Amino acid sequence: MAHTTRLLFVAGAARAGSYNKRLARLGAEIANANGIHSAFADLGDYPMPIYDGDLEAAEGPPENARKLKALFEVHHGIFIISPEYNASIPPLLKNALDWVSRIRDRDEPPLAVYKTRVFAIGSASPGMYGGSRGLTVLRQTLEIGTGALVLPDQFSVSRADKAFAENGHLSDKKSMELYKSTIEKLARAALIMRGEFARS
């Protein structure tokens, strides 16, 4: 699937040994190996203060929020891989999504960076549910909160502490194929959306 669609894989956890970070890096590797230009983003590289309306009014959005939005803008599909925190998503991820949602440049419509891209979501957890309960919250945040288009397919890795092989791939071949298939669906959907906006 060689084309110019660009995908961004975002890890919703900053922990160095995060399984979700490993899964996001693997996603970018799989995409690039299959001719889909992709990159990996670590939210730990974009530290931001907790969203505060008074802070925004006084100083505007933090520079790292602008940098993250700019990174979103140069990619057509965004795959967010997030751990589950108490059946929800990490404050790190929610805060980043909130700050990015507040930035409007060049008289653009509200939430344009979300509404003009396709998103996919995934998770990894040592537990038996693979972090899937947190994905319900992430989907709601993206679809209802920002108006984003999110693929109905989502990808979860349970027993993540035993799921990765020494080469960084998933040990289970069916899981690898499912992950690859979800990535390809994201790339196709992003390509279709690009075409729709080009015609509009």
What residue type is 42 in one-letter code? D
Residue with structure tokens 């209802």? 144
Q: Is 39 helix (H, G, I), strand (E, B) or coil?
A: strand
40-70 pLDDT, tens digit each = 999 999 999 999 999 999 999 999 999 999 9
Q: Give, for 190, the enclosing helix (H) or strand (E).
A: helix 173-199
Using 50, 70 and 90 to split pLDDT, how confident is the model at 154?
very high
Q: What pTM does this model have?
A: 0.95
Average pLDDT over residues 139-151: 98
Q: Residue 60: left (phi > 0), alpha (psi -120 to 50), or beta?
A: left
The per-residue pLDDT of the chain, averaged, comes to 94
Structure tokens belonging to residue 4: 């110019």
pLDDT at 2 over 80: no
Give the integer Cα–Cα distance in Å for 54 and 59.
9
Measured at the alpha carbon of residue 186, what is the angle toward residues 83 and 34, in degrees to the nearest 5?
A: 100
Give the integer Cα–Cα distance in Å for 76 and 190.
6
